[in-house]
Every structure is written in structure tokens, then in C-alpha cells.
Amino acid sequence: MDIRKVTANIGADVHGVDLSQPLDKGVVAELRAALLEHLVLFFRGQRKLSVEEHVRFGRYFGDIDPPLFRTASSPAPEVIVLDQKNPKGEGADSWHADNTYMPAPPMGSILQAQILPSIGGDTCFANMYAAYDALSPGLRAMLDGLHAIHSLEQMAERTKHVMGASLRDKVDQWPPVLHPVVAVHPETGRRLLNVNANWTVAIDGMSRAESDALLRLLYDHVRSPEFQVRLRWNTGDVAFWDNRSVQHYAVADYRERRMMQRVTIAGTRIQGIPDAERANTKQGADREKAHAR
């Protein structure tokens, strides 16, 4: 296996692995380590994966998280097929992590390009460790103790012209949840920014004006190119990203058929920074302010 970084902050190409074949434990362990290091892995030129092959690869890394809804093209409960020609405004063309309206959002997703337009349809990925680290010490210290409300309802409203009642019908099943604005990754222990434009509706304990202003600042911050990698798909390519530390954006610049098959891996509840660590962060920020004076 050969793993090559794509950018300084995020992404790696993986060569020498055939995802249609069973993998031994050593290869799986190496891929997990690479995912934690590079956050998104690209497997170029794979043959079209069957549902069984796709699901088998996903299960090496955890239980399969069935999609909230199945499209007409989805062949099995474990996968979703995104078959689109005019994707503008359908939900993926904004920076987001998947399904943070859930108490335990997905660990990751594995997406394969099976039919592509002649041009366009790239996907961008952004490193939320880097986004957090690039904030000023004072802003980090403030965010470390905050929680945000994540809800399915705003996306159901935003996409009702496309989804009709299918998403709206799920809102009662998934009431709003609170997640820390700054999360701690369960495997690496690193802090990361944990708000996104699709599911985060407000900062808990703030007025609407304060919350909107802070979220707008953070969403604009995530757009910085230095946190990102952009994948120009070829048919058969597979992207595997860590949904806990990555946001992604599907570029809606095409008007020809684009069909992608995706398997999602179940995750765990999001943890915030322990109180003792938060206190240390605030003290450090206070010292930096005093020194700056």
C-alpha cells in the first residue's frame, strides 16, 4: 500500500488497495491510521462496487448507519444512491458534516462516483482541527464552553421543494439536540470546530442576534482554502472521510447526470472539552492578553 498526501492539511491518495476484495486486519488497521492522520482518503480508479462489496468495506470500520431516507435509485437499506442532474439547493452545496441533528452523528462516509457529468461535480473537504487551531486564543477560549442546537427541521424546510414531505415527516422522530461547539475527537483527542450550516440552528444561551453573528463568523472561517482539499472525481473513485473532523461541500455546477453510491458508518455521541482542560485554556488565553498589553 502506498499513501501520498494531497495537501499539507488534509487528504491522501491511497494506492495498492482493491476495495472490491476482502481486506486483512493489517490493511484495515493501516487504513484507519491513515484516515485519522489525513482525515479523507481517496482511492482512485476502483471498479464499480456492488452493494455487498461497499457494505463489507464499511463494516471494517464500524456498524452501518442506515440513511434517514432512501432515494428511488437506492438498491438496499444500507446504502443511499444520490442520482442528480440539477443539484443546486438540494442540501449538499453548503459546508456541513453529515447528520449532526442526531445525538450520535456518523463516524464517517464512503462515497463512490459511478456516473459523472462531462465536467463539474467536484467535492471539497475541510479540516475542522485546522479551522479550530486557526482561531485566536481568546475566541477559542470562549467557544470551548459553548453548546449549539442542531436540528433536522431547518434542512427539512430548506429542501422541501425537492424532498417534499419525506424529510419533514422525520422531524418529530429527531428532536433538536445540543452538541459542544468545540468537540474532542474520540480517537485522537484533538479539539475541532463543531458547527455547520446545514444542521446548526443557534448557539445555546445567546440571543438570536448574537448567535447569528457568531455562527456567520464561524461559517465564513470554515471556507478558508488553507483548510481544504478539492476532489475532481473520475468514475470509480472512492472518498472515505472522517465525519467527526471533516466538513464537505458538493459543488453544484453541473446539469448532467451524476450518480454516487454512499455507505455511512455509525458514530458515537460527541464529547466536549472537560472542565479542567477548559479552565487551562482560558488561563492561557488570559495570559496571552495580558502579555499583549
What amino acid positions are annotated as catalytic residues? 96, 98, 248, 262
In which order are the strands placed within the sheet that holds 246-250? 228-231, 123-127, 246-250
Place of cell 450520535: 104
What are the residues whose beta carbons fall under 8 Å from the beta carbon of 96, sequence distance 6 or more? 196, 197, 198, 199, 247, 248, 249
CB atoms within 10 A of CB 23: 16
> Widest CA span of the chain, in angstroms?
62
Q: What are phi and psi of 234, to 5 degrees?
A: -120, 155
Grid coordinates representing 11 are 487528504
Give me the sheet containing 238-242, strands edge to edge: 2-5, 12-15, 40-43, 238-242, 108-115, 258-265, 79-84
CA count, 13 A, side-chain hemisphere, 10: 26
For 110, the 3-state DSSP assignment is: strand
Nearest to 74 by CA among 264, 236, 251: 264
- The span from the CA of 41 to the CA of 188, in Å, is 17
Residue 258 and residue 156: Cα distance in Å, rounded?
Answer: 23
Q: Can you tell me the distance from the alpha carbon of 149 to that of 165, in angstroms, rounded to the nearest whole number?
A: 23
For residue 239, what is the enclosing H or E element?
A: strand 238-242
| Backbone φ, ψ for residue 13 (5° rounding) | -85, 135
Q: Which three cell numbers stand for residue 215?
A: 455562527
